[in-house]
């Protein structure tokens, strides 16, 4: 029996005032495929259909979701159908009045990113002076009674700040801090050489996390998203392809995860043309890798196939050029050497020698698209 989805990530727009070089959005976000954003009515229908299909958790993301002038309306509509809503935002230019309006509309939880523990580095990584807006928004979030998650994407340039970041989240009264080691998709894959940490950095970061967890107990939940290039086995990406999760992109394409749009061998359906239920059950993108009938060796006969589901299809496509093979991160994959090579290349270089990144910005997006 086909499972029912629990999670919907609504990428409301790919416009964003920040330019983080690890952004998971598509490299070609500024192109025509994503520009024709869904209307308020479209999104309200998507929320109703999602709830009827079994979705309980809604992430309102982007790009920067605050750039949608109808965000309050969308939150009210999702609240009315009973979705538990998280706003995933940079908080750039957010005001307390708007946050209060979102609270009244029924928003449940706020997740605000920060790029580093100090202003200079945070602004440098974001490519936009946004640190002070974030600190103000953290305080308002707590004052208004929202549960707060502080989200930090970790990489070579900020992994040394793990302790400072945890202390910052603690001082803000956050419920959770998500320390998300960079997953290499979208802009992060393009900027991989500049972002990839060393093994020593990761070991130290993990050691600090364990120390701080012991100190803080249940006062602050510290989530450590594994750096999968440095693991032996792949992550159970999305809990398995098309098992519990779907992403609706700004112009209405529906993907089994927020990186899947890059897989050129899949056909994606659009909510403008199909009901969400049909897309979940019958569209090419959702049915292609659901279950385990698609699996080649070494997955097919592997006892771990019910644990990690063959890993990540997007990673297989990006690294091995074929979305239908074992995740190259797996030590049993015939493509593992491609991951080892990428990791080894970084190990020899000092932090200061790491490559330059390309910021996630519309002109860079168009230039990269033109280059192919």
Partner 1 sequence: MTSPAPDAATVPRVAAKARLQWDEVRQRHVLLYPEGLVALNETGADILALCDGTRTVAGIAASLQQRYGVEGVQQDVAGFLEALAAKGLVVFGMPGGLDSTP
Edge-first strand listing for the sheet containing 57-61: 221-225, 176-181, 148-154, 109-113, 84-89, 57-61, 7-11, 245-248, 254-255
Q: Cβ distance 78 to 9 under 8 Å?
A: no
- Among the listed residues 44, 47, 90, 109, the single contact to partner 1 using CB under 8 A: 109
Q: By CB under 8 A, tell whether 199 contacts partner 1.
A: no
- Among the listed residues 61, 115, 149, 191, the single contact to partner 1 using CB under 8 A: 149
Distance in Å, CB of 114 to partner 1, minimum = 17
Distance in Å, CB of 54 to partner 1, minimum = 4
Q: By CB under 8 A, tell whether 147 contacts partner 1.
A: yes
Distance in Å, CB of 86 to partner 1, minimum = 6
The span from the CA of 354 to the CA of 196, in Å, is: 9
User: 176 vs 274, which CB is nearer to partner 1?
Assistant: 176
Q: By CB under 8 A, tell whether 221 contacts partner 1.
A: yes
Q: By CB under 8 A, tell whether 127 contacts partner 1.
A: no
Distance in Å, CB of 4 to partner 1, minimum = 6
Q: By CB under 8 A, tell whether 84 contacts partner 1.
A: yes
Distance in Å, CB of 82 to partner 1, minimum = 6
Q: Which stretch binds partner 1 (CB under 8 A): 107-115, 163-171, 309-317, 360-368?
A: 107-115
Q: By CB under 8 A, tell whether 217 contacts partner 1.
A: yes
Q: Phi and psi (nearest 5°) for 186? A: 55, -130
Distance in Å, CB of 202 to partner 1, minimum = 23
Q: By CB under 8 A, tell whether 236 contacts partner 1.
A: no
Q: Cβ distance 142 to 118 under 8 Å?
A: no
Print the SS3 string covering 17-57.
Answer: CCCCCCCCCCCCCCCHHHHCCCCHHHHHHHHHHHHHHCCCE
Residue 330, helix vs strand vs coil: coil
User: 82 vs 296, which CB is nearer to partner 1?
Assistant: 82
Letters for 247-286 (x = contact with partner 1 by CB under 8 A, - = none) are ----------------------------------------
Q: Cβ distance 18 to 92 under 8 Å?
A: yes
Q: Cβ distance 8 to 50 under 8 Å?
A: yes
The span from the CA of 9 to the CA of 3, in Å, is: 17
Q: How many residues bind partner 1 (CB under 8 A)?
A: 22
Distance in Å, CB of 50 to partner 1, minimum = 11
User: 25 vs 111, which CB is nearer to partner 1?
Assistant: 111
The span from the CA of 62 to the CA of 274, in Å, is: 22
Residue 237, helix vs strand vs coil: helix
Angle at 182 between CA 61 and CA 333, to 5 degrees: 115
Question: What does the DSSP 8-state code read for residue 155?
Answer: -
- Among the listed residues 2, 39, 82, 284, the single contact to partner 1 using CB under 8 A: 82
Distance in Å, CB of 100 to partner 1, minimum = 16
Give which of 124, 224, 94 is closest to 166, Cα–Cα. 224
Q: Cβ distance 112 to 151 under 8 Å?
A: yes
Rounded to whole angstroms, what are the CA distances from 230 to 183, 210, 343? 11, 18, 8
Q: By CB under 8 A, tell whether 218 contacts partner 1.
A: yes
Letters for 168-197 (x = contact with partner 1 by CB under 8 A, - = none) are -------xx---------------------
Applying CB under 8 A, the residues found at the interface with partner 1 are: 4, 6, 52-54, 56-57, 82, 84, 86, 108-109, 111, 145, 147, 149, 175-176, 217-219, 221
């Amino acid at each position: 029996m086909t499972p029912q989805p629990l999670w919907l990530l609504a990428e409301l727009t790919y416009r964003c005032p920040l330019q983080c070089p690890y952004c998971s959005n598509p490299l070609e976000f500024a192109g025509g495929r994503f520009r024709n954003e869904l209307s308020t009515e479209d999104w309200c229908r998507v929320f109703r259909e999602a709830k009827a299909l079994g979705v309980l958790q809604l992430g309102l993301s982007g790009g920067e979701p605050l750039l949608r002038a109808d965000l309050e309306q969308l939150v009210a509509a999702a609240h009315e159908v009973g979705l538990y809503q998280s706003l995933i935002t940079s908080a750039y230019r957010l005001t307390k009045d708007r946050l209060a309006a979102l609270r009244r509309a029924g928003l449940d939880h706020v997740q605000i990113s920060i790029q580093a523990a100090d202003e200079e580095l945070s602004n440098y990584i974001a490519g936009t002076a946004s640190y002070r807006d974030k600190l103000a928004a953290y305080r308002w979030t707590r004052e208004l009674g929202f549960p707060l998650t502080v989200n930090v994407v970790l990489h070579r340039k900020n992994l040394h700040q793990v302790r400072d970041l945890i202390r910052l989240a603690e001082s803000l009264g956050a419920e959770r801090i998500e320390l998300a080691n960079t997953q290499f998709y979208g802009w992060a894959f393009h900027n991989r050489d500049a972002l990839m940490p060393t093994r020593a950095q990761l070991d130290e970061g993990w050691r600090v996390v364990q120390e701080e967890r012991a100190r803080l107990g249940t006062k602050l939940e510290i989530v450590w998203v594994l750096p999968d290039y440095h693991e032996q086995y792949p992550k159970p990406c999305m809990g398995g392809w098309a098992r519990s999760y779907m992403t609706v992109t700004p112009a209405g394409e529906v993907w089994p995860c927020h990186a899947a749009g890059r897989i050129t061998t899949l056909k994606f359906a659009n909510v403008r043309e199909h009901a969400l239920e049909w897309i979940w059950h019958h569209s090419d993108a959702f049915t292609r890798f659901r279950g385990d009938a698609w699996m080649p060796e070494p997955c097919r006969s592997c006892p771990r196939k019910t644990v990690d589901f063959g890993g990540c299809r997007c990673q297989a496509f990006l690294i091995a050029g074929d979305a239908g093979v074992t995740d190259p991160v797996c030590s049993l994959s015939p493509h593992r050497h491609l991951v080892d090579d990428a990791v080894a290349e970084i190990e020899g270089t000092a932090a200061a020698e790491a490559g330059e990144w390309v910021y996630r910005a519309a002109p860079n997006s168009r230039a990269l698209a033109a280059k192919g």
